């Protein structure tokens, strides 16, 4: 069983994916973390953000330890991640890993919940269940700001909104794997839903009740 979830930044797809994976006993893959790990490597290696060959090389060298980098959730890494995600070589390097995870989830689990910007459209178009999770930019920025503030970051709401809008633009406009709703995907708008309500709606869809 493969559940694929995509949607824009900070729409709540991560929390939703984790909850679904826990509920059904499936493996969970946050593919944004892969792009973040590449970005973290790019920063550590001193590769220029616009050096496509350098970023591709870092993506090819990615290993499990990179997913534990302490800077993975910082705004700096978020920004570089959305840049390296526009590089075709980086996307190609990460594609096989993502498909293989879905096909053969670790520890013999019976299914996988895979989330990210292009999971339903490009990575796993034949997934059993596809969800597009979204919310207004303002609501998404507010959620991201609360997360950052809880982690001790001193960033303003306006800055976070600006960076969410900027990342949306980059995700939507890039030539490869741009953000869009896949055919057959269930559109889940969480603007007015809290996480419990969103989870109930997602569960109802996965179990075929809506």
Supply the minimum distance, in Å, between the C-beta of residue 117 and ligand DC.
4
First to last CA, the chain: 18
Q: Does 116 sit near ligand DC (CB under 6 A)?
A: yes
Q: Judged by CB under 6 A, which stretch of 19-27, 116-124, 187-195, 202-210 contacts ligand DC?
A: 116-124
What are the DSSP E strand ranges found in the chain? Answer: 2-6, 27-30, 112-115, 129-134, 186-189
Task: Tell which one of 117, 129, 130, 143 touches ligand DC (CB under 6 A).
Answer: 117
7 touches ligand DC (CB under 6 A):
no
Chain positions 51 to 90 lying near ligand DC, rule: CB under 6 A, are 78, 81-82, 85
Break the chain down into helix, strand, coil percent, rounded to 5. 55, 10, 35
| Residues in a beta bridge with 123 | none
Among 19, 130, 140, 167, binds ligand DC (CB under 6 A): 167
Contact status, residue 15 vs residue 195, Cβ threshold 8 Å? yes
**Stretch near ligand DC under the rule CB under 6 A, chosen from 42-50, 58-66, 112-120, 154-162:** 112-120
User: Rounded to an integer, what is the distance from CA 6 to the centroid of its chain?
Assistant: 7
Query: Residues touching ligand DC: how many (CB under 6 A)?
Result: 15
Residue 36 within binding range of ligand DC, rule CB under 6 A: yes
- Cα 93 to chain centroid distance, Å, stands at 16
Q: How far is the CB of 81 from ligand DC (least distance, A)?
A: 4
The DSSP secondary-structure symbol of 75 reads H
CA distance 17 to 13: 6
CA dihedral 75, 169, 160, 194 (to 10 degrees): -110
Is residue 171 involved in binding ligand DC (CB under 6 A)? yes
Tell whether residue 9 is a contact of ligand DC (CB under 6 A).
yes
Binding residues (CB under 6 A) for ligand DC: these are: 9, 31-32, 35-36, 78, 81-82, 85, 116-119, 167, 171
């Amino acid at each position: 069983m493969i559940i694929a979830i995509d949607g824009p930044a900070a729409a709540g797809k991560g929390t939703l994916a984790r909850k679904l994976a826990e509920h059904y006993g499936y493996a969970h893959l946050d593919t944004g973390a892969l792009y973040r790990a590449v970005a973290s490597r790019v920063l550590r290696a001193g590769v220029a953000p616009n050096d496509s060959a350098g970023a591709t090389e870092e993506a090819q060298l990615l290993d499990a330890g990179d997913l534990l980098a302490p800077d993975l959730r910082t705004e700096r890494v978020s920004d570089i991640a959305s840049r390296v995600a526009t590089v075709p070589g980086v996307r190609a390097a990460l594609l096989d890993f993502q498909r293989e995870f879905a096909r053969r989830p670790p520890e013999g689990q019976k299914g996988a919940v895979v989330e990210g910007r292009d999971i339903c459209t490009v990575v796993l178009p034949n997934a059993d269940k596809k969800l597009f999770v979204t919310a207004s930019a303002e609501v998404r920025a507010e959620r991201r700001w609360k997360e950052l503030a809880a982690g001790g970051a001193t960033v303003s709401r306006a800055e976070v909104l600006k960076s969410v809008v900027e990342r949306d633009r980059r995700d939507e406009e890039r030539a490869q794997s741009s953000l869009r709703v896949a055919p057959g995907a269930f559109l889940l708008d969480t603007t007015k839903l809290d996480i419990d309500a969103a989870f109930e709606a997602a569960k109802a869809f996965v179990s075929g009740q809506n």
